[in-house]
Amino acid sequence: MRMKRWRLSAIVALAAFMTLGGCATVAPRIYLLGYPSAVTPVARDETGLAMIEVEPVSVPDFQDSRDIFVRKGPNELVADPSARWGERLSVGVSRALIAALAKRQPDIRVTSSRPVLPAAQQVRVDVDTFEIREDGLCILGARWSITRDGNRHAATTDYARFTVNANGTDTADVVGAMTQAIDQLADHISVALNHN
């Protein structure tokens, strides 16, 4: 009888350990692309400002999730089990790109909202590559087109590929490199906007 009670107690203790400590999962860290918003209060009248409409950025379907993928070898992608995006990748790239363009075009209203009147310029971006390699190298390849005054014929169409080496292989370092790559893309698009 004592042996049965001892076995039962051992089984209950083992089950409690597995439930409370042994199998506990750690919540993944959440990451966003881009830089934090400035804390300085800003108020400005945007009435009459020229407008640039940035359409939602497209990314490859297999990447458009909240998983952060790392490329291992030529054909394997592995999701980081300890980290996730705070939003789908396409949403994060769109938000970070709009913020980067707005910083470079301070006298123009840059928005993702469809305006009532046609925007002075529309920007469409199609990302074909946005990947992280095991060594921390980030690669961003994107094609963008710019149209003017509601005209659906592209006034400018360009393609560029950017590479940024992360300061390390930690996820925070890699996300920083991805943000820098988006900044480089914003630099190129901003130059094209100014020459249109």
pLDDT in tens, 17-72: 444 454 557 889 999 999 987 777 777 666 777 888 999 999 999 999 999 999 99
Chain mean position to CA 111: 17
Residue 154 banded pLDDT, cuts 50, 70, 90: low
In the sheet that 29-31 helps form, which strands lie side by side, from edge to edge? 29-31, 76-85, 67-72
DSSP one-letter string for 12-30: HHHHHHIIIIITPPPPPEE
Q: How many domains does the chain have?
A: 1
Cβ–Cβ under 8 Å, residues 131 and 123? no
> What CATH number is given to the structural domain containing 180?
3.40.50.10610
Cβ–Cβ under 8 Å, residues 132 and 76? no
Please indicate, yes or no, if residue 43 is contained in any of the structural domains.
no
As a whole number of angstroms, the distance between CA 50 and CA 120 comes to 6
Q: Which of 116-120, 132-136, 152-156 has the lowest mean pLDDT?
A: 152-156
Q: Minimal CA–CA distance to 93: which of 160, 182, 30?
A: 182
pLDDT at 196: 66
Give the range of the structural domain holding residue 68, as residue numbers without chain letter: 48-194
